[in-house]
Structure 1
Amino acid sequence: MHRVKLFIFTIAALLFSQAALAQAPGKQKAVLVTGASTGIGATLAEYLSQRGFYVYAGARKEEDLKRLEAMDNVSAVRLDITKQAEIDAAVAFVRAQGRGLHGVVNNAGVAAVGELMKISEEDILWQHDINILGAMRVDRAFLPLLKESKGRTLVIGSLSGFVTGPGGGAFSMTKFATEAYAETLAMELAGEGVKAGIVDPGSFRARGRERVAIKMLTGEWDLNAKLTPEQEKIIAGVRATEDKRKEPIEVAEQVYHFLTSDTPRVRYMASPDKKTVDMVYRAALRRIAQLNASQPAYALTRDELVTMLDELLVEEASGGK
C-alpha cells in the first residue's frame, strides 16, 4: 500500500511539475498564428495550444478575439496583416510577454473567384495584398524575434499553387507565388539560423468558400451579410457541402512537424484524399514532361528522368539533406 501511495504521489508531482513548466514564460515555446478566427487557423490554434505551445492567435473581429482569449495557452492578438501598425503592435505585445517566439505560422489568406479576363483588378490586388504581401510583412516584422530564438516561420500555401482551373486563376496566382516565397525564404534565412517552410493543404473544411459564395451573390465579403430567401438556400447548399469535408487535422499535424522536428522540411503536403494527391502529382509531372518535350536538343531520356527522380526520392527520404 505504501508503494502504491508513493507511486501515485510521484506521478502527481511529475504532472504538476510538467504543467508548471508549460506555463512558465521563457520555458514554453510560443508561436504566432495569423488568421486564427476560423477554419485552418482556428484548428491550428487549438491543436498547437493543446500540445505544449503557447499560441498568440491573430484575428480581426472582437467576437473572435474574445473566443480565442478564452482558450487555454492562448492569447488573442488583434492583427490585420494589411495594417503595418497592427503588425508592429503585435510584435511589441509578443516581446513584452517574455516568452520569446519560436515560430510564425502565416495562415491568413483570402480567395476570390472569377475568370481572369473578367475578375476585377481590385479583387486580384486584394488577394495578393493578403496572401503574399501579408505574410512578408509579418515575417519581416517578427524576424528579429525569430533570429533570437533560432526559430522558424511557415506559410500556409495551397495545392492550388500546383493545380489551377477556370475561375480559380487569380487565387492560384497568389499560391504559385507563395511557393516561390517560401522556397526562397528558406534559402535566404538559413544563414541566420531561421528555418522557413510551407504547408500546402487541399480542400478541408473552412468558411472561405462560403465567403466567396456570399461575395458572388451580394458583392460583399461579409459572412453576416443580409441574404434573400433564395440566396439563403444557395448558401445552405454551400454549407452542406462544406460539412462533408474533413476537418483540417492533417494540416495541423504537418505544421506541428515543421515546428518540432530537428530537421523540418521546406515543403509539406496535406491532402484530404488520394484522388487529390494523384491530381497534384500528375500536374507537377506534366510540367516536367512539357518542358522536356519543348527542347529536344537537350531533352532527357525516360531512363535519365527516372534516375533523377530516384535520386530526389532518396534525398527527401533522408530529411531533405
Structure 2
Amino acid sequence: MSARRVFITGGSAGLGREFARQLAASGAKVCIGDIDAVAGVATAKEIGGHFIKCDVRLETDLQAAARWMKTEWGGADLLINNAGVAQMGTLTDTPVADWQWIVEINLLGTVRGCKTFAPLLAETQGTILNIASMASFLHLPGAGAYNATKAAVLALSETLMLELEQDGITTHAACPSFFRTGLAQNMRAGDDKARAMTERLVERSRTSPADVAAAILEGMERGEPRIFIDKRTRKALRMKNWLPFSRYLGGLRKEVAKLDARMARITKGQST
C-alpha cells in the first residue's frame, strides 16, 4: 500500500492521531479532519500536515475536505474513516436520541466519507480504511447501539470491497478490541454500571493506540480485507463461526457473568 495523500476523520486524538503520526513518518501528506480544532491544529503542526474542521455528520464538511485535497494536493490516495463514538446501556435505558446520535456518527459518518471520497480515490486507484470493531460481531449485552453501528460499518465495508473494486478502490475494515483510548471519556451511557464497565475494560487494556495503528497498517500492507489485530479477536470470531450458536451463546453468557462478578468486586472494594 502506497499512500502519499491521506485524509483521516477523527484524526486529532487517540487512534486517529496515531495513524496520522505513523503515516506522516512514512512520508505521506496527512490531512486531519476533526471537530476539535485545538487538538487538530496541534496534531497537524506536530506531523507537518494540515487540519480541516470536519464534522462527519455534515456532508458539506466532507465535501469541503475532498475539494481541499483535490485543489491543494491534487487528490487523495487513502481515506481513513476513524471518527466514532460509544453509547453504552440496555435497550430500555438508551433513549432513541442516543441511537440517532451514534448512527449519525459511526455509521452515516462512514457512509458520507466513502461516498464523498470515492470519486477522488477512483482517480488514484486508492484505498478506504473503515474502523469497525470487535463489537461488529461480538455483541455483548448493554451495548446494543454501539454493536449495531459497528456491525453495520463492517457490513458496509464488505459490500464496498466488491462494489468499489470495479473502480480500482481497495476497501479494508479493521476490527480492534478494547485498547487505551479516549472513547470512554466522550461516550454516552444509560446507567453508571455501563459507564464503569466500559471505562474499566478500556483502562485495563495493555494495548495502546500506537500498537493498534501499527497493526492495522501492517494488515493493510499484507492486503487483508478484514484486519483483526489480536488473538482474542480472532478466537472470538472462530468460536462464533464454528460453534452451534446456542453453545456459543452459552459460553458468552458465562463470560458476561464473570465480568459482572469482577465489576461487583471492584465496586464493593471502592465503596469500603
Please indicate the TM-score interval, normalised by the length of the shorter structure.
0.7 to 0.9
Relative distance call for 1:88 and 1:40 in structure 2 (3 A) is: same
Give yes or no for the alignment of 1:290 onto 2:251.
Answer: no
Deviation at 1:275, TM superposition (A): 4.0
Residue type at the aligned position of 1:248: P
The C-alpha deviation readout for 1:71-115, integer Å capped at 9, x for no partner, is 234211211100122111111111111342111010111111110
SS of residue in 2 equivalent to 1:108? coil
Aligned positions, number:
243
Deviation at 1:51, TM superposition (A): 1.3
Aligned counterparts of 1:119 and 1:215: Cα–Cα separation in 2: 5
Deviation at 1:194, TM superposition (A): 0.7
Identify the structure with bigger relative contact order (alpha carbons < 8 Å, sequence gap 6+): 2
Aligned counterparts of 1:38 and 1:243: Cα–Cα separation in 2: 19
The C-alpha deviation readout for 1:175-223, integer Å capped at 9, x for no partner, is 1111110000111011111111101101111111122378856xxxxxx
Q: Summarize the alignment of residues 171-210 of structure 1 with structure 2, pairs less than 5 Å apart.
A: 171-210=146-185
SS of residue in 1 equivalent to 2:128? strand
SS of residue in 1 equivalent to 2:115? helix
Q: Among the aligned pairs, what percent are the same residue? A: 27
Aligned to 2:79: 104
SS of residue in 2 equivalent to 1:135? helix
Match among 205, 214, 217 for residue 253 of structure 1: 214
Deviation at 1:277, TM superposition (A): 3.7
Deviation beyond 3 Å, 4+ runs, structure 1: 213-217, 237-241, 257-261, 274-277
The C-alpha deviation readout for 1:207-253, integer Å capped at 9, x for no partner, is 11122378856xxxxxxxxxxxxxxxx8xx94896275321234322
Bigger radius of gyration? 1
Using the size of structure 2 for normalisation, the TM-score is 0.80
Deviation at 1:42, TM superposition (A): 1.2
Aligned counterparts of 1:34 and 1:79: Cα–Cα separation in 2: 7
Q: Summarize the alignment of residues 209-248 of structure 1 with structure 2, pairs less than 5 Å apart.
A: 209-212=184-187, 238=199, 242=203, 245-248=206-209
Aligned to 2:89: 114
Aligned to 1:58: 33
Residue type at the aligned position of 2:245: Q
Kindly indicate whether the alpha-carbon contact (under 8 Å) linking 1:53 and 1:73 is maintained by their aligned counterparts in 2: no
The C-alpha deviation readout for 1:290-319, integer Å capped at 9, x for no partner, is 39xxxxxxxxxxxxxxxxxxxxxxxxxxxx
Q: Summarize the alignment of residues 66-81 of structure 1 with structure 2, pairs less than 5 Å apart.
A: 66-81=41-56
More displaced stretch, 181-190 vs 30-39:
30-39
Relative distance call for 1:92 and 1:257 in structure 2 (3 A) is: same
Question: What 5-or-longer segments of structure 1 have no aligned partner?
Answer: 1-26, 218-233, 292-321
Residue type at the aligned position of 1:257: E
Aligned counterparts of 1:64 and 1:130: Cα–Cα separation in 2: 19
Kindly indicate whether the alpha-carbon contact (under 8 Å) linking 1:254 and 1:270 is maintained by their aligned counterparts in 2: yes
Aligned counterparts of 1:37 and 1:214: Cα–Cα separation in 2: 23
Kindly indicate whether the alpha-carbon contact (under 8 Å) linking 1:186 and 1:196 is maintained by their aligned counterparts in 2: yes
Relative distance call for 1:91 and 1:35 in structure 2 (3 A) is: same
Superposition RMSD in Å: 2.7
More displaced stretch, 70-79 vs 252-261:
252-261
Match among 77, 82, 91 for residue 66 of structure 2: 91
Give yes or no for the alignment of 1:41 onto 2:12.
Answer: no
Deviation at 1:39, TM superposition (A): 1.3
Relative distance call for 1:146 and 1:28 in structure 2 (3 A) is: closer
Relative distance call for 1:192 and 1:240 in structure 2 (3 A) is: closer
